[in-house]
Chain A
Amino acid sequence: SAVISQKPSRDICQRGTSLTIQCQVDSQVTMMFWYRQQPGQSLTLIATANQGSEATYESGFVIDKFPISRPNLTFSTLTVSNMSPEDSSIYLCSVAIGSDTQYFGPGTRLTVL
């Protein structure tokens, strides 16, 4: 498996502001994904981060709200834009290394006031 880190680990933000979350992997990976886990809930896929092209968003998630970058095979960012209290969640990146198996980063706990 790979070593996956996320920054920040947690943040408290004011409504209307934006937060960019970073995901760094210690080796090149095939796929990178971004998930949201609302309090006490399961994981929901936000988008697949594609290297060198636009991310592929799932139903209910849009680029204007969750812009994603993936400039290379080891790094991706997710921005949560114009935040509201409903965006309070844990945001997790995951990576797949040459197969179906996905490993998760430690997550970013976001609280929006």
Chain B
Amino acid sequence: GENVEQHPSTLSVQEGDSAVIKCTYSDSASNYFPWYKQELGKRPQLIIDIRSNVGEKKDQRIAVTLNKTAKHFSLHITETQPEDSAVYFCAASDGAGGTSYGKLTFGQGTILTVHP
């Protein structure tokens, strides 16, 4: 089955700096890579996702890059703000039409702290 490794486990940055979180996956059949943000006591919320036919996707201050050859993908947050502080999870899936029927395998999570 799929295995997703996420690094770093904790990340501390100053407000305004950039933050980068990296994930690697093992199953070459995976083709869908979402990122979730989970604030304390809240549900995971989808912030951005990317599919394997795209190498990069941006949405305002966040971006995700994908390297299918190396089997890794990264989340980039620019101009970080204190409200970006949360736990971030990457995940991988071979899609709703694949053999795993869309189930997500999650990374271990990264605790991001943005200091004012």
Q: Count the A-B residue pairs with Cβ separation under 8 angstroms: how many?
A: 57
Question: In the complex, are the beta carbons of A104 and B43 less than 8 A apart?
Answer: yes
Question: In the complex, are the beta carbons of A56 and B101 less than 8 A apart?
Answer: yes
Main secondary structure of the interface of B (DSSP, over half): loop
Complex Cα distance A1/B105, Å? 21
B62-109 contacts to A (CB < 8 Å)? 89, 93, 95-96, 101-109
Closest A-chain residue to B93, C-beta based?
Answer: A100
Main secondary structure of the interface of A (DSSP, over half): strand
Question: In the complex, are the beta carbons of B43 and A31 less than 8 A apart?
Answer: no
What per-residue 1/0 map shows which CB atoms of B31-72 lie under 8 Å from chain A? 010101000001111100101000000000000000000000
Contact-residue bracket for chain B: 20 to 34
- 26 residue pairs A–B, Cβ–Cβ below 8 Å: A30-B96, A31-B96, A31-B101, A31-B102, A33-B104, A41-B109, A42-B108, A42-B109, A43-B44, A43-B89, A43-B106, A44-B106, A45-B103, A45-B104, A45-B105, A56-B101, A59-B1, A92-B43, A100-B93, A100-B95, A100-B96, A100-B102, A101-B49, A102-B46, A105-B43, A106-B42
